[in-house]
């Protein structure tokens, strides 16, 4: 425990090397137990600061009625404030340390690592494709999705899943084609196509991709489309 506290203290005192600082920040994001220890450290510092300030005021303040010691409400307030600082700190680390390509890759892994299975996989080709996708058999899933999209041009799920399978296979050109087709399907009430086009461009990161992705993300935010919350954050990072 002492070693951990020394490690945390070194970070906040600015005694870490660049490599050590990066390792610390990544650990805060990925290691929940360590993040809690950082939270405790920040909270303890905040409480100590408050107590020292109160003691200093007591020494220099003119004589008068005795002040009550901080009660439970004040303690809870300090703890809540410290917890808020930790949350903001961790969010800052996540967004600061990630490149646009990493943001895009993390989004796909978080939101599309597994597809929802709602049909009987023994009889329905879409469900069979979902099963293959969820088992990371992306080539097999793609064959099923693209065949279904070809035979049923209006099947938006087949088009979406085809794009995702291409994206997981790093076939960015075909993924863009599928998401562009999806984006142009005006019948959809909620359309993830434009945002996923931006995701694909950021992950591919070829010449001009970032600029094109920025335009798409601005449009997603302006029209409040799927992914608008993420788009608003990403626009500050790319």
Please compute the mean of the pLDDT values over residues 215-225 and round it to a whole number. 96
CA 30 to chain centre: 12
Alpha carbon distance 238, 224 (integer Å): 19
Give the lowest-confidence range in 26-40, 55-69, 132-146. 55-69
Please report which helix (H) or strand (E) contains residue 123, including its range. Answer: none
Tokens of 30: 């990925």
Q: Please, what sign has the CA dihedral across residues 89, 27, 97, 225?
A: negative
Among 1.10.580.10, 1.25.40.10, 3.90.120.10, 1.10.357.10, what is the CATH number of 104-234? 1.25.40.10
Residue given tokens 């809870």 in the structure block: 76
Spans of all domains in the chain: 2-96, 104-234
Residue 122 is predicted with a pLDDT of: 43
Residue 6 is predicted with a pLDDT of: 82
Instruction: Map residue 34 onto helix, strand or coil.
Output: helix
Q: Percentage of the chain surpassing pLDDT 70?
A: 72
Tokens of 196: 């996923």
90-133 pLDDT, tens per residue?
555 555 556 888 889 989 988 999 998 765 444 588 999 999 99
157-207 pLDDT, tens per residue?
999 999 999 999 999 999 999 999 999 998 788 899 999 999 999 999 999
Taking the whole predicted model, whether its pTM rises above 0.85 is answered as no
């Amino acid at each position: 425990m002492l070693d951990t506290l020394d490690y945390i203290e070194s970070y906040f005192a600015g005694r870490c090397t660049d490599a050590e600082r990066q390792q610390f920040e990544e650990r805060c994001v990925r290691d929940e137990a360590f993040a809690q220890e950082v939270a405790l450290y920040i909270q303890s510092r905040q409480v100590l600061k408050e107590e020292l300030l109160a003691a200093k005021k007591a020494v220099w303040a003119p004589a008068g009625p005795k002040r009550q010691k901080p009660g439970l409400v004040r303690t809870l307030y300090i703890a809540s404030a410290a917890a808020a600082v930790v949350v903001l700190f961790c969010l800052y680390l996540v967004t600061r340390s990630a490149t646009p390509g990493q943001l895009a890759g993390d989004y796909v892994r978080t939101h599309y690592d597994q597809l929802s299975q709602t049909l009987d996989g023994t009889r329905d080709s879409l469900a069979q494709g979902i099963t293959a996708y969820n088992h990371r058999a992306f080539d097999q899933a793609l064959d099923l999705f693209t065949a279904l999209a070809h035979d049923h041009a209006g099947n938006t799920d087949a088009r979406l899943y085809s794009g995702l399978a291409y994206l997981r296979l790093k076939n960015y050109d075909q993924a863009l084609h599928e998401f562009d087709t999806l984006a142009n399907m005006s019948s959809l009430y909620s359309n993830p196509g434009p945002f996923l086009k931006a995701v694909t461009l950021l992950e591919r990161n070829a010449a001009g991709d970032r600029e094109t992705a920025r335009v798409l993300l601005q449009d997603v935010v302006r029209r409040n489309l799927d992914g608008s919350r993420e788009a608003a954050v990403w626009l500050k990072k790319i």
